């Protein structure tokens, strides 16, 4: 027995129709029991008529997402003439919204797939955060909207990524007593720098867990109280020299710290 065929006609990619129809098909079995045929970028009556004749010969059904009301009406009329089962997926919602908003729709296909300026800005910010993570390239400090400064395990990288999703370009600089911070850090606007402070006990616990996850001994110097206190003392000197705001992240989730940083940015 031949599989039932379902055609998807769209004036764009047809992804909307496919998602809706697949959701409905889940109620009737698995994907082996039917065939889906997607027909994208259909925007004139001649193409529609040709498709409908094919669908009628194959005894298939059709679902369609077309923003043009004339084309929707054409499919509706021709499907009745050809005794086809045709489902208008988008039309009734557009018509209801037109009545509610008392406004004509834009009637432009593919709007959900357009990549707007905000999208590109967010992608650029994410790429920036990766490129200038963990002090890899100090040249990013001047270009950044926000510069995070802190010792290891103060959530600099997760914060950078979280803020990047808000379209902020973020660089972060690790503070290590044996390594002088880059000169660019002292040359940039201190108001865009944020020191990430943490208490020694909390940092000790976090670093021990990190060592465990890496399969290393918790007694390593990285998690020793003396070493941690040395790093934190050095960090205090750096942020004091910078004159930048400092946030205590000891008992804060990444989202909470990020919101505080965003508030500081608004004050700028």
Q: Is 29 annotated for ligand binding?
A: no
Residue 252 labelled as part of a binding site: no
Q: Can you tell me whether residue 23 is helix, strand or coil?
A: helix
Strands 146-150 and 61-65: unpaired
3-state secondary structure of 85: strand
Helix H or strand E encompassing 88: strand 85-88
In sequence order, the β-bridge partners of residue 176 are 179
* Cα 59 to chain centroid, rounded: 42
How far CA 105 is from CA of 44, 99, 108, 116, in Å, comes to 19, 10, 8, 19
Angle between helix axes 254-267 and 156-164 (nearest 10 degrees) is: 60
The residues, any chain, with a CB within 8 Å of residue 194's CB and separated by 6 or more, are: 146, 147, 148, 149, 244, 245, 246, 247, 261, 264
Closest alpha carbon to 208 in 222, 197, 228: 222
152 labeled binding residue:
yes
156 is known to lie in a ligand binding site: yes
38 bridge partner residues: 8
Is the distance from CB of 4 to CB of 35 less than 8 angstroms?
A: yes
Annotated binding-site residue? 157: yes
Q: How many helices (H) and strands (E) in the chain? A: 11, 8
Asked if residue 155 belongs to a known ligand binding site, the reply is yes
**Residues annotated in a binding site:** 150-157
**Residues annotated in a binding site for ADP:** 150-157
């Amino acid at each position: 027995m031949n599989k039932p065929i379902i055609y998807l006609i769209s004036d764009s990619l047809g992804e909307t129709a496919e998602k809706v129809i697949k959701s409905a098909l889940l109620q009737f079995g698995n994907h082996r029991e039917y065939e889906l045929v997607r027909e994208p970028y259909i925007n004139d009556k001649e193409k529609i008529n040709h498709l409908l004749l094919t669908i009628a010969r194959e005894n298939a059904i059709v679902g369609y997402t077309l923003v043009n009301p004339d084309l929707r009406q054409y499919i509706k009329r021709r499907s009745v003439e050809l005794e086809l089962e045709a489902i208008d997926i988008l039309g009734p919602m557009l018509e209801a919204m037109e009545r509610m908003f008392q406004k004509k729709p834009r009637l432009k296909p593919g709007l959900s797939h357009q990549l707007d300026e905000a999208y590109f800005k967010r992608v650029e910010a994410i790429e920036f955060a990766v490129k200038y993570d963990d002090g890899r390239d100090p040249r990013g400090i001047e270009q950044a909207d926000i510069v995070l400064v802190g010792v290891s395990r103060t959530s600099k990288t997760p914060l950078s990524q979280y803020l990047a999703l808000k379209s902020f370009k973020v660089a972060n600089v690790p503070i290590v007593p044996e390594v002088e911070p880059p000169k660019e850090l002292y040359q940039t606007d201190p108001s865009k720098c944020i020191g990430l402070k943490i208490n020694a006990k909390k940092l000790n616990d976090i670093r021990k867990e990190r060592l465990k996850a890496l399969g290393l001994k918790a007694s390593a110097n990285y998690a020793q109280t003396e070493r941690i206190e040395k790093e934190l003392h050095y960090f205090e000197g750096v942020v004091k020299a910078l004159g930048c705001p400092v946030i205590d992240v000891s008992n804060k989730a990444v989202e909470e710290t990020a919101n505080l940083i965003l508030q500081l940015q608004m004050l700028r």
